[in-house]
Amino acid sequence: MSAPSILIVDDDPDFVAITKAILETKQYQVRFAYDPDEGFAKLEEDIPDVLILDIMMGKGAGGFVLARKIRKDTRFDNVPILMLTSMSEQTGFDIPGERIHDKFLPVDDYIEKGIEPHVLLEKVEQQLAKKNGNYTLQGNKFSRVSF
């Protein structure tokens, strides 16, 4: 059985390389894009099991725009979005109150960069479980659970 696929959309090549390496330790199939347009094109090519998305890309908040675009497109209704960003570090501001909001930030989870590798893996596994509940991690391999 093939492992779940993850798409990373982030404009920081170092962050992408490190995150890809972490995810590959658990045998995930990882693809990546360095800007929102490339990310949306890759999303259309092959819908991933989880999307890891940065907020701040290029000259603005391209991740916000991409998240909203994805949520308006019914083809991607079942794609969990894990927002992983250093927005508060870059801007000095944090998102007040409830970070995840259907209109403001339509994502499934939000985490600040600098996250420990094991926490990133846990968050990805939570999104996979929430998405369809039929993947289980056994050692370093995923297998499909039959019901």
* Cβ–Cβ < 8 Å for 78, 102: no
The token duo for 30 is 């990882």
| Residue where the block lists tokens 């990546």 | 32
The rounded percent of the chain whose pLDDT value lies above 90 is: 52
* Cβ–Cβ < 8 Å for 6, 28: yes
* Cβ–Cβ < 8 Å for 42, 33: yes
Residues whose CB is less than 8 angstroms from the CB of residue 97 and which lie 6 or more positions away in sequence, other chains included: none
* 43 phi, psi to nearest 5 deg: -65, -40
pLDDT given at position 104: 52
| Residue where the block lists tokens 């339509």 | 106
Rounded mean pLDDT of 19-43? 96
Rounded mean pLDDT of 87-112? 58
pTM over 0.85: no
* Cβ–Cβ < 8 Å for 40, 66: yes
Q: What is the pLDDT of residues 126-145, one digit of tens each?
A: 899 887 665 555 554 445 54
Q: At what angle do helices 62-72 and 36-45 cross, to 10 degrees?
A: 30
Q: What is the pLDDT of residues 73-98, one digit of tens each?
A: 999 989 999 988 775 444 444 444 44
CATH architecture of 5-144: 3-Layer(aba) Sandwich (3.40)
Rounded mean pLDDT of 63-82? 92
Count H helices and E strands in the chain, helices first: 5, 7
pLDDT given at position 61: 81
Spans of all domains in the chain: 5-144
pLDDT interval class at 36 (50, 70, 90): very high
